[in-house]
Amino acid sequence: MTQEAGKNFRCGTVAIVGRPNVGKSTLLNHILGMKLAITSRKAQTTRHRLLGIHTTDDTQFLFVDTPGFQQKHLNALNKGLNKTVTQVLTEVDVVLFVIEPMKLGEADEKVLSLLPKDKPVLLVVNKSDLMGDKNNLLPLIQDFDLLHPFVGIIPVSAKKSLHLDELLETTRQYLPEQPAIYGEDELTDKNERFLAAELIREKIFRLLGDEIPYSVTVEIEKFETVKNLRRIFAAIIVDKDSQKPMLIGKSGEKMKQISTEARQDMEKLFGSKVYLETWVKVKGGWADDERALKSLGY
Ligand SMILES: Nc1nc2c(ncn2[C@@H]2O[C@H](COP(=O)(O)OP(=O)(O)OP(=O)(O)O)[C@@H](O)[C@H]2O)c(=O)[nH]1
Ligand SMILES: [Mg+2]
């Protein structure tokens, strides 16, 4: 890193915002070249702001992944998620507004209305690999362009890592000239406890039907590091008794699968062996109870 060269080094924060499921977290992971943020086919996977640090020779990008802005089911949890998004927008140097190559919808319009007018915002058209005829992009871009003065428009594919260099190069131009804030090996400001809980939640999003994941949160009750072994004890919290058997599955099969896959991801991310123990607890109405939310880390 030529941070010592000083003069041209840039460092700044970049918000990644958009409606649920457009690929914000996938974009962060593919920029970092590392699975830091959890992702799934279901909307509303991300529930926390997440810092992802990407350091190159001349730039330190401080990306902030955010929850997809919620319009439906406005319980206390989702209201909190929306507050996170609006808060992040006030704090950053640049905004990446992520959309899919689909018609402008109500959910996109809602996020558009929140975009700051006094900050550079790039329109990032993700999932360009799904776009059949590239000519369809033009009317779509025109629709969006009418609603906000974007400083640039960049089609990318996060999943296939296409055009991410262009995205970084353009983003860089809007970052302030200043030295790096974090060490060049640092990846995030979140601790392993947080990341472990997220990986368990991801497996629940990926392995269970449409309803359960939204009623689930994960609490790490104990996290011990003994030499090259992490011993992690996690409670999976559901909203109702009736959800317990669905999560556990026939002869505990589902839980076993959740734990195994989460443990494998943790071993990769932490670079150590992991012993993981999980169990299910019921905490009725946790997602709409301010006090419970606070104690669960929201
Ligand atoms: N084909 C294709 N799929 C993608 C691309 N980027 C993301 N996806 C898929 O889109 C789905 C949603 O991705 P996420 O990264 O979880 O989306 P998100 O915007 O973070 O969603 P929330 O956190 O719920 O707001 C996943 O199934 C991804 O694999 C892409 O470039 N191409
Ligand atoms: Mg996400």
pLDDT tens-digit series, residues 207-226: 999 889 999 999 999 999 99
pLDDT value at 21 more than 60? yes
Question: How many Å apart are CA 22 and CA 41, to the nearest integer?
Answer: 10
The C-alpha atoms of residue 278 and residue 220 are separated, in whole angstroms, by 9
The whole-number pLDDT of residue 135 equals: 85
pLDDT value for 7:
60
Cα of 295 vs centre of ligand 2, distance in Å, is: 22
- Ligand 1 nearest atom to the CA of residue 156, by list position: 31
Question: Is the model's pLDDT at 1 over the cut of 80?
Answer: no
* Ligand 1 pocket mutation pick from 29, 35, 39 by most atoms within 8 angstroms of CB: 39
**Contact by Cβ (8 Å): 25, 187:** no
**What predicted TM-score, i.e. pTM, was given to this entire model?**
0.95
Q: Which atom of ligand 1 is nearest to the CA of 29?
A: 15
Ligand 1 binding residues, C-beta < 6 A: 20-26, 39-41, 43-46, 67-68, 126-127, 129-130, 157-159
Report pLDDT digits (tens) over 66-91: 999 988 778 999 999 999 999 999 99
Q: What is the mean pLDDT of the chain?
A: 94
